[in-house]
Amino acid sequence: MTKSEELFKRAVNVIPGGVNSPVRAYSSVGETPRFIRKASGSRIYDVDGREYIDYIDSWGPMILGHDNEEIREAVTEAVKNGLSFGCATEIEVEIAEYICERIPHIEMIRMVNSGTEAVMSAVRVARGYTGKNKIIKFAGCYHGHSDALLVSAGSGVMTSGVPDSSGVPKGCTEDTMIAIYNDLESVKKLFDECKDEVAAVIVEPIAANMGVVPPAKGFLEGLRKLCDENRALLIFDEVITGFRFGFTGAAGYFGVVPDLVTYGKIIGAGMPVGAYGGRKEIMELVSPVGKVYQAGTLSGNPIAMTAGLTQLKILYEHPEIYDNIYRMGEKLYGGIKKILEENGAPCKINSIGSLGCVFFTENEVKDYMSAKTADTEAFGKYFKYMLNSGIHMAPSQFEAMFLSNAHTDEDIERTLETIRKYFSGN
């Protein structure tokens, strides 16, 4: 038995499923999770001493690669002053100013501890601001595990969402309506059916939790228009896309201005951080200035803020990092596309910038329904082959590959060669 297998055996006795977040269990690909000991640059190492090229990158935060020296040093310095004070600190002002001065649509920002918290709070603010209750989300978009957003994606447009999880009362999702990604008509229909009841539309501006599904031309602009016409707020959940599609995220990348934005992942550089922000007039509704209550004992934690601010500064001061990860994205995902075509593989690849994903289906994937046509068993086989060849990818058909600035051309070439071997059978 490997050390990972031993650890997993112990883990399942004391942690549900042996993991602290479900996708880590590798159950959808019929594998035992690899327990990780350390990571550096583009590489991650398991407890059995195996080395992998890592395309999970902690699900996005490690956009500079693992164990970035500057961030490590800043954090090590910060630790010397204590881990947490539960009081206001200078670094919280610094990171908020840093973001607000550089992202035009963020005039005020509040730090929390996860993407889930950020989204839950942003939705509360949108409801407080508009005085309306209903929200529109899209099938296949993930916004964390808060009750109101854990809604079954279903097969189409729904005016009243069905809880996706046991333990979520129906009442919690009654005001969550489900539209179809990349389908403005489905959104319009919900607005028409619930006139003057919709507080907000929440969307992943680039969907990356049903595999990668970029927005169709005009989709985000259309949402902006529908929200304006119906006096609803537009919330961009940029937990993955924030600071990945340039410093200003998908909003800047596509030039569509949301009312509220949620962040996570990259903003904490690997520490547990989330944030939500937007126009001052909206954000001033948050307690203690306003009547929308939201709090957090460890929010704005000085170590987490140090890690986050150091990473944000590197990204802002080195825009060539974005050029590099886009270039590598073209090389990797373009290379995969070519391999799939050359071998007549029954697969499609979706990609944008540094995010990409191979779908095991011959259908174009543009929404949740088409994503669901993927053959997850076939994905599982591919995943296992890649893992055993030293390529560490998300253990699910419906997750993205994340490129970091630490990936090298050699990493990508080796990855492509492995993929070529898999699909060509030699």
Ligand X SMILES: *Cc1c(COP(=O)(O)O)cnc(C)c1O
176-179: strand order across its sheet? 108-112, 274-278, 260-263, 233-237, 198-203, 134-138, 176-179
Per CB under 6 A, the list member of 71, 119, 210, 401 interacting with ligand X is 119
Is 142 a binder of ligand X (CB under 6 A)? yes
Q: Give the CA radius of gyration of the chain.
A: 21
Per-residue contact track with ligand X, 68 to 107, x per CB under 6 A?
A: ----------------------------------------
Nearest distance in Å: CB 239, ligand X: 4
Per CB under 6 A, the list member of 264, 302, 356, 380 interacting with ligand X is 264
Cβ(336)–Cβ(356) below 8 Å: yes
Is 310 a binder of ligand X (CB under 6 A)? no
Is 144 a binder of ligand X (CB under 6 A)? yes
Nearest distance in Å: CB 346, ligand X: 28
Is 240 a binder of ligand X (CB under 6 A)? yes
Is 215 a binder of ligand X (CB under 6 A)? no
Give 333's contacts (C-beta < 8 A, 6+ positions apart).
349, 351, 356
Residue with tokens 């602290």: 20
Catalytic-residue membership of 367: no
Catalytic-residue membership of 265: yes
Per-residue contact track with ligand X, 312 to 341, x per CB under 6 A?
A: ------------------------------
Burial category of 21 from C-beta neighbours within 10 Å (exposed 0-12, middle 13-18, buried 19 and up): exposed
Is 116 a binder of ligand X (CB under 6 A)? yes
- Half-sphere exposure for 231 (CA within 13 Å, toward CB): 10
Is 396 a binder of ligand X (CB under 6 A)? no
Is 308 a binder of ligand X (CB under 6 A)? no
Q: How far apart are the first and last CA of the chain?
A: 29
Between 283 and 394, whose beta carbon lies closer to ligand X? 394
- Half-sphere exposure for 190 (CA within 13 Å, toward CB): 30
Catalytic-residue membership of 46: no
Euclidean distance between CA atoms 252 and 274, whole angstroms: 19
From the candidates 52, 142, 253, 276, which is the catalytic residue?
A: 142
Nearest distance in Å: CB 416, ligand X: 26
Cβ(86)–Cβ(297) below 8 Å: yes
Cβ(24)–Cβ(394) below 8 Å: no
- Half-sphere exposure for 224 (CA within 13 Å, toward CB): 14
If one counts every other C-beta atom within 10 angstroms of the C-beta of residue 159, the result is 16
Nearest distance in Å: CB 181, ligand X: 13
Is 399 a binder of ligand X (CB under 6 A)? no
Between 187 and 250, whose beta carbon lies closer to ligand X? 250
From the candidates 265, 348, 366, 372, which is the catalytic residue?
A: 265
What are φ and ψ of residue 125, in 5° steps?
-65, -40
Q: Please give the residue whose beta carbon sits closest to ligand X in the complex.
A: 115
Euclidean distance between CA atoms 263 and 68, whole angstroms: 21
Is 204 a binder of ligand X (CB under 6 A)? yes
Per CB under 6 A, the list member of 4, 42, 114, 405 interacting with ligand X is 114
Structure tokens at 169: 């009362």
From the candidates 54, 57, 175, 237, which is the catalytic residue?
A: 237
Is 274 a binder of ligand X (CB under 6 A)? yes
Binding residues for ligand X, rule CB under 6 A, total 14
Active site residues: 142, 237, 265
Residues that bind ligand X (CB under 6 A): 114-116, 119, 142-144, 204, 209, 237, 239-240, 264, 274
